[in-house]
Amino acid sequence: MILSYGNRDPNSFFIREALINGFIKPGDLWNDFNNVNTEVRFWNWTRHSLIPELFAMEWYNGRPPLGLRLYLDDRNNFKIGYPVLRQVRARTDSCTVPYQVENIIDECAGFGNVINEDDRFYKKFWHSNLTMSSRVPPEYKYMTAKDLNGFPFWGQLDWYGGGGYIVPLVTKRYTDGAKLISKMDHLEKTGWIDKDTRAVFVEFGTYNPQVNLFVVLTIVAEFLPGGGVVPYYHIDPIKLLHYHTGSGLLILLCQIGFILFTIYYTICAFVSACKQGKKYFKEYWNIAEIANILAAYSIIGVEIYKMIITQQILAIFTKTEGTGYINLLEAMLLDEAFC
């Protein structure tokens, strides 16, 4: 029970609700992300909800938010790395044009599942006639799931890969928020989202030291091939740091006990198998015991790997002083795997 529920925190609900109110704004007549159903509304949401909430703005008296460069505007949660916009596009040959209109329409982009995703480089306005001297803008350069440490994502409409076309949302000072809003205007005017766009992800992670919780935020606008937008979001609090409190010490002792008992039962099963030979494997409960032992080792392996990933995340964060790209999705998936 301690190992099962020790990884959960009652503050998870409250921090999730706070972030939903900040970024999704349910019930807000103009800025509710749940009401985003067109490209125009999506861009309006980025300008009026996303960017202002991502960065600490001026205080009520007009003074600059000194020392709060990494914080969200709520001044409680700070960003782990920088947020990104990630676009997934469908290839223009991913569906068949009816022969009756082939002389009018020469390309067709279907749903944007993993098989049909576009991974080419483009020039501005999604022009594909690249030459050796062509300059590829960063937001038109495809980055693989390996580059981004990304994983497939199952949305409301489709299954999307972990790669895509990236727009980093980076600021060096609090006044750069206005530059990012201008960047959103530029992307809208140059058609960064067009008829071949199938999903635009907003991805970033936060950490709240008061409650010792990381949060993985994935906000998605899925674009239908026939037009329209379906909003969707995942906001998942996770606990990656355990051992610096009294309860964390108890969890550590229980984990050590779990490992020792697993080794003990492994030795018992091995000795019994050696004594009984083939008869040992003919008993149902012996097979069940072996399955339990293997499951226990898999849990231990996942937990150790999660600890390694957590240390890697913290190492990158420390080395880059919070300015590097960090994806918490792998840690979240490991956290959800057996907990």
DSSP 71: B
Question: What's residue 111's pLDDT?
Answer: 74
With a cut of 70, say whether residue 9 has pLDDT above it. Answer: yes
Q: pLDDT tens for residues 119-142? A: 999 988 898 877 655 678 899 999
Count the Cβ atoms, other than its own, within 10 Å of residue 237.
22
| Contact in structure between 206 and 183 (CB atoms under 8 Å) | no
Return the pLDDT at 2: 64
**Tally of domains within the chain:** 2
Same-domain status, 124 and 143: yes
Q: CB under 8 Å to 67, separation ≥6 — which residues?
A: none
Picking from 234, 228, 236, the residue whose alpha carbon sits closest to that of residue 35 is: 228
pLDDT of 75 higher than 70? yes
Residues 221 and 262 in one domain: no
Residue 246's pLDDT is: 65
Burial of residue 143 (CB within 10 Å: 0-12, 13-18, 19+) is middle
- For residues 146 and 186, state if they share a domain: yes
- Average pLDDT across the chain, whole number: 88
100-111 per-position pLDDT tens digit: 666 777 677 677
Please indicate, yes or no, whether residues 280 and 202 belong to a single structural domain of this protein: no
Residues 188 and 259 grouped into a single domain: no
My answer on whether 8 and 78 are in the same domain is yes
**Alpha-carbon dihedral of residues 168, 169, 173, 176, nearest 10 degrees?**
110
Nearest Cα neighbor of 169 from 87, 50, 36, 88 is 50
Q: Which domain holds residue 291?
A: 247-337
| Chain centroid offset of residue 35 CA | 22
141 shares a domain with 26: yes
Q: Are 81 and 325 in contact (CB under 8 A)?
A: yes
